[in-house]
Amino acid sequence: MARSICLALTGASGLAYGLRLLDCLLAAGCHVPLLYSQAAQIVARQEMACALPSRPAEARAVLLERLQPAQPDLLRVHGREEWLAPVASGSNPPEAMVVCPCSMGTLAAIAQGLSDNLIERAADVVLKEGRKLVLVPRETPLSVIHLENMLRLARAGAVILPPNPGFYHQPQAVGDLVDFVVARILDQLAVPHTLTARWGA
């Protein structure tokens, strides 16, 4: 049975990380429930020249056409208010969840347990069920409020993974920097990959 890893795209800069991660998860044979915020639609258009429709079925079609995964049935896209989605309940949680990129607004809402939309609720479920939650916050500089929210989440069991690429692998293109960060996320999820060489290998 395919592993279920929920992926949420929010309105922080860095949507390239999220789309590359989606591509890698599907290639690895993971079932991916995908969630996205309204702000993520704006970022997709601004950074990736990608029109991400508001209707989940249409968004799924756009993503499948863009990524061309070998197993398209592994991708399921949910609406922001789709409260009957499996990820909304602790009776059927995903194995793990990644919010990538993660806006400071989403991070703050998760830290406070607000659960006002499906992204926040799914993250709350993952935390309360003791599953792995990986947050990829893309913001700089960080205020005390940002840092305190991250500390609160880290204490609750979340992994805070800022997209800070290394340079020891001698990147030749922007895609190499994206892959470095996505590789670190996949490592947290224990998903095998060959995106970057291992240190000392």
Q: pLDDT per residue over 118-176, tens digit each?
A: 999 999 999 999 999 999 999 999 999 999 999 999 999 999 999 999 999 899 999 99
**Residue 36: its pLDDT value, please?**
98
Higher pLDDT, 174 or 1: 174
Mean pLDDT value across residues 11-23: 98
Give pLDDT, residue 120: 98
User: Any bridge partners for residue 134, and if so which?
Assistant: 98, 159
- The neighbouring-strand residues paired with 146 are none
Q: What would the CATH number be for the domain defined by 5-189? A: 3.40.50.1950
pLDDT at 107: 98
- Say if residue 201's pLDDT is above 80: no
pLDDT band at 62 (very low <50, low <70, confident <90, very high): very high
- For the chain, the structural domain boundaries read 5-189
Give me the pLDDT at residue 146, please. 98
**At residue 51, does pLDDT exceed 90?**
yes
Q: How confident is the model at residue 99 (pLDDT cuts 50, 70, 90)?
A: very high
pLDDT over 90 (residue 50): yes
Here the tokens at position 159 are 């992994």
**Model pTM score:** 0.97
Residue 44: what pLDDT? Answer: 97
pLDDT for 114:
95
